A and B are shown apart, each in its own frame.
Chain A
């Protein structure tokens, strides 16, 4: 695959559904974009404007009514191990010990027990959780469970990583720490990331590119050409602030 070939392409995707009260609604109208290998794309938008729907379509969890999604030039027909997902809700299985959770994807793919334990421990070390491998998830804090979710996805080694506001429910400090963890892992593994967020600062902190979704349409799609690492000082430079103001305007503030 040459770098210029898109790893993920979303072509004129529309998603319609019926609300609980029976009325139809359009979550996505006609959305198209391409993602290239190694990109960290942030999907930015206010809640209720279709960004989670977009992510679920790419994950294969939701059916499109129009258009198609292609991953590595094959149409998406359902969820698959080539696209790892970090969910908005806590999706760590409470009935599996932490290391079993991290190894779950490998277990499904029939890795040997030794192999998957080795990989799981390796990835737990990457997120700084070596000591709690044998714990039950209920014994962990929310931030630690988010780390488990990150480790689980990276342990399965998918080329594409999808994240749906994974740190939305965490406190500020934990969120900043986990953003760094995710950022470091992304740089080490060179995965392609699609990261949904409503937080402009988070998008600026992490993304190489940002796509703004509003009312089911893409209203902005641009590269973030700020130097890394993105410290607060970097974002506070004139180009950073200009971009921030642009994005804030696009999502409806200012």
Chain B
């Protein structure tokens, strides 16, 4: 715990006058820094798997299996898994089930997210809309949305729509919150400045509101997407025609730990990959942020 020895001096402004020092050693130092950070990440990931492995070696196989076993399980069941067919899922493997889950999550996020972004951004500007949107979002934002899952199941049956609706509802609520805040957080000085040039509402939306809110909205999408995976899988376990949630349900009945871990690993990996993709997208769209 080093409270009083910062890595660099607190005022970086003090460094500006020494630009004559920049040169080759600087580039080398920079490369070394990046190398250290990459090494750190790998060490950290290694640590995660080491802990998992260590725990698995101490526990019976009926409780926890090693990462290697989980990996093998994924490998051998990815295209076709006979044990899942028993539960009426048909000729499936983790891969096809993942496609169902992925499709539902993305559809739900796309539909709910678009509605949420539109309503949220608009409600930041239209007072009348806020009067109605805010109370609804306040309630839905603080209560567990997933209590609706059993009701949707009863009303719409064991169809993909049931899960998509749940994800879409959640995405809409979250994205209203995020985009409303994003639109409110834009410094009004920008719009006033644009107005001094005679910019009309269309111009201000196109050149200030949209670019100004995009970074926060994508940040919100990332958070929403991360939770949407869990919601989708939960809805699938409760009742769905396909999806990794159904595989989890089947494997629970079989007491198959390696299969359960395999499913969780697949979902987590997909969640991380889609998150990184959104992050890269954000970097592309809003490089200035």
Contacts and interface: CB of A to CB of B under 8 A. Distances in A.
A125 interface: no
Contacts of A22: 26-27, 29-33
A25 B10 contact: no
Interface string B1-30: 000111011111111111001110111011
Contacts of A78: 4-5
Interface residues of B, number: 25
Contact of A24 (B6, B12, B21): B21
B12 A20 contact: yes
Given A24-B21, A60-B4, A47 B30 contact: no
Secondary structure at chain A's binding surface: helix, strand, loop or mixed?
loop
Interface string A122-148: 000000000000000000000000000
A48 B29 contact: no
Interface in A35-70: 47-53, 56, 60-63
A50 B14 contact: yes
B9 A24 contact: no
A61 B22 contact: no
Contact of B5 (A49, A51, A63): A63
Nearest to B34: A22
Contact of B15 (A27, A60, A62): A27
Contacts of B27: 22-23
A52 B16 contact: no
Interface stretch (A11-19, A107-115, A187-195, A238-246): A11-19
Given A20-B8, A53-B11, 14 more contacts: A17-B8, A20-B12, A23-B23, A23-B26, A25-B15, A48-B13, A48-B15, A48-B16, A51-B14, A53-B14, A61-B4, A61-B10, A62-B6, A79-B4
Interface of A: 15, 17-27, 47-53, 56, 60-63, 78-79, 215-216
Closest 6 CB pairs of A and B: A22-B30, A23-B26, A25-B18, A25-B15, A48-B16, A17-B8
29 contacts: A17-B9, A18-B8, A22-B32, A22-B33, A23-B22, A23-B25, A23-B29, A25-B15, A25-B18, A26-B21, A27-B9, A27-B18, A48-B16, A48-B17, A49-B17, A50-B14, A51-B14, A52-B9, A52-B14, A60-B4, A61-B4, A61-B5, A61-B6, A61-B10, A62-B10, A63-B5, A78-B4, A216-B17, A216-B18
